[in-house]
């Protein structure tokens, strides 16, 4: 069982979200008051392509273990700085299959939709950070480490210290792809 380390929200586009004592997840929309909340896409590049696309990126989750790894490489990253809404610990986010359910706190449920693709805005925070959030798998394939995205299936309030349990999807394991 994992836990929530921090919860964050931002009302403007760009890197970094502000840590909060609590955030509210709203079913079908995302984090109440967050710039990326909505039933259709809110990320500027995706809106430019097709603003009617469903929003598969309502909630961004990053594992705190990434911050530990980045610190060993000389980067100082705090929860919320990379734009995540929920920072976790002891959950293998990158190893989850598509469709896995994350039960957060007393009532909220987030369905994992895919991986976050690290973007150039990370380098604006600290030069080299984008590359540090990419790795290479055994077969030479890119490994994206910048967390996962999800949609809110059931709403609720989330706080640091809340527990996280995982419900795997029915059927075969479908690896996560960038969304």
Q: What single string gives the DSSP state of each residue in 83-114?
A: S-SEEEES--GGGPPTT-EEEETTTEEEEEEE
Asked if residue 39 is part of any domain, the answer here is yes
Domain that holds residue 156: 2-108+127-167
Asked if residue 173 is part of any domain, the answer here is no
70-107: buried (b, 16+ CB within 10 Å) or exposed (e) per residue? beeeebebebbbbbbbbbbeebebbebebbbbbbbbee
Q: How far is CA 10 from CA 32, 139, 174, in A?
A: 10, 37, 31
Asked if residue 176 is part of any domain, the answer here is no
Whether residue 108 contacts residue 171, with contact meaning beta carbons closer than 8 Å, is answered with: no
Asked if residue 60 is part of any domain, the answer here is yes
- The pLDDT tens digits of the residues spanning 113-154 come to 999 999 888 999 999 999 999 999 899 999 999 999 999 999
| CATH classification at residue 33 | 2.40.33.20
Residue 80 CA to residue 16 CA, distance in Å, equals 6
Among the listed residues 8, 177, 20, the one whose alpha carbon sits nearest the alpha carbon of residue 87:
8
Phi/psi at 178 (5° precision): -60, 140
pTM: 0.96
Mean pLDDT value across residues 9-16: 90
Asked if residue 119 is part of any domain, the answer here is no
Tokens of 158: 């989330």
- The pLDDT tens digits of the residues spanning 55-99 come to 999 999 999 999 999 999 999 999 999 999 999 999 999 999 999
Whether residue 115 contacts residue 178, with contact meaning beta carbons closer than 8 Å, is answered with: yes
**Domains in the chain, number:** 1
Average pLDDT over the chain, rounded to whole? 95
- The pLDDT tens digits of the residues spanning 49-60 come to 999 999 999 999
């Amino acid at each position: 069982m994992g836990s929530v380390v921090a919860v964050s929200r931002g009302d403007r586009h760009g890197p970094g979200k502000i840590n909060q004592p609590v955030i509210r997840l709203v079913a079908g929309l995302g984090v109440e008051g967050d710039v990326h909340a909505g039933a259709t896409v809110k990320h500027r590049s995706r809106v430019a392509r097709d603003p009617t696309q469903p929003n598969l990126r309502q909630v961004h989750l990053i594992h705190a273990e990434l911050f530990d790894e980045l610190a060993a490489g000389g980067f100082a990253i705090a929860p919320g700085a990379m734009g995540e809404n929920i920072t976790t610990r002891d959950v293998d986010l990158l190893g989850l299959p598509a469709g896995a359910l994350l039960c957060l706190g007393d009532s909220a449920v987030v369905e994992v939709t895919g991986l976050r693709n690290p973007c150039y805005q990370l380098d604006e925070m600290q030069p080299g950070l984008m590359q540090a959030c990419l790795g290479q798998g055994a077969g030479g394939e890119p490994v994206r480490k910048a967390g996962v995205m999800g949609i809110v299936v059931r709403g609720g309030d989330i706080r640091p210290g809340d527990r996280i349990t995982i419900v795997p999807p029915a059927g075969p394991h479908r690896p996560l792809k960038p969304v």
